[in-house]
Amino acid sequence: MFQGSAVIRPGLRAAAFFLGVLLMPGAPLWAQGLAGQDALSSGTSLEARLSPVRVETTLFPLYDMARAVGGEQADVALLIPPGIEPHSFEPSPADIVRINDSDIFIYTGETMEPWVGKLLPGISNQNLQIIAASQGLAQQGGDPHVWLDPDNDCKIVDAIALAFIDRDPEHQAAYRERADKYKAALTVLDAAYRTGLKDCRSRTIVYGGHFAFAYLAARYGLDQVSPYGGFAPDAEPAPRAVAELVARMRTLGTHTVFYEELIDPKVARVIAEETGAAQVLLSAAHNISADEKAAGVTFLSIMEDNLKKLKAGLECR
Ligand SMILES: [Zn+2]
């Protein structure tokens, strides 16, 4: 069904071209985008006004931020379906067409979505704006989960607002207003985390999932321990690593093992069985389930829920 509607020419343009040109504020693209608008305004301005800015996003937090900033001017989609764990995601040809047909494409970065680098040379839409959300943010030892720091999120929201304004300058004030509102909510969230996690019996997040909380831990003075080897759930942890974590929990006197979303929490279950600890979901918000989607969960509501669970699990006063 897509064959006639889009032209994918693999290898036509290097990814570096897009990243170099499209991510730079004030780069020639802006003029290019404005030129496109002028062309539209001559004959099809009504259609241009009626057609929303089409945005494709990879992860739920990026989707939620784009949706909040874009408001009624935008049609924002989440490429990775509900319930799918994104570290192991591979796009289908239809997904590539969806990205190519959009106005703005937002992903995290090459560690989180390594498939994007392979896909970009095949994109033929010269007006596509691409936002690599992690670009320009301070690194936390290679952890790709940059959205788990509200300060990073404010910067990502700003980048998203700029992309919308570039594509649709007519609604600049609306984009700015909504971005400011979202950033204000992030500031409130940040303050709640600082206050809520100030005085806790333990400062160690014992996680039965892959390492995802380097940013959150750094921001609020916490540690994270996990039997996994890295920042993705791609390999099961070694039994010895699990045994070491169980021993560590006994030393720490920890009563909670947190587990990750969207994956059978069998590692956390084993740890809980060994230690008698409670199993509590601590979502890194990569994606949401179909039920959460139906319930209208937002990135901010996930983070508020996480704070309650952290306060209980770390025994904060
Ligand atoms: Zn992850």
Domain-terminating residue out of 192, 227, 242? 192
**Torsion angle of the four alpha carbons 67, 306, 131, 105, in this order, in degrees rounded to the nearest 10:** -50
* Residue 220: strand, helix, or coil: helix
Mean pLDDT of the chain: 87
Structural domain of 160: 15-192
Looking up residue 106, the CATH number of its domain turns out to be 3.40.50.1980
| Token digits of residue 214 | 């380097």
Distance 285 CA to ligand 1 centre (A): 9
- Do 162 and 246 lie in one domain? The reply is no
Distance 233 CA to ligand 1 centre (A): 7
Distance 23 CA to ligand 1 centre (A): 24
pLDDT 10s digits, 167-225: 999 999 999 999 999 999 999 999 999 999 999 999 999 999 999 999 999 999 999 99
- Do 160 and 21 lie in one domain? The reply is yes
Distance 62 CA to ligand 1 centre (A): 14
Quote the pLDDT of residue 49.
57
Question: 93-130: b or e for each residue (b if 16 or more CB lie within 10 Å)?
Answer: eebbbbbbebbbbbbbbbbbbeebeebbbbbebeebbb
Handedness of CA 231, 234, 238, 244 (dihedral sign): positive
Q: Output the CA angle 94-135-117, nearest 5 degrees.
A: 35
DSSP state for residue 286 in the 8-state scheme: S
Terminal Cα-to-Cα distance of the chain (whole angstroms): 58
pLDDT 10s digits, 128-162: 999 999 999 999 999 999 999 999 999 999 999 99
Region 48-58: mean pLDDT is 86
- CA distances in angstroms from 104 to 84, 149, 199, 244, listed in the order given: 22, 23, 42, 45
- Do 177 and 50 lie in one domain? The reply is yes
Residue 68 within any structural domain of the chain: yes
Distance 308 CA to ligand 1 centre (A): 21
- 209 vs 6, more confident: 209
Per this entry, what is the length of the chain? 317
- Do 225 and 256 lie in one domain? The reply is yes
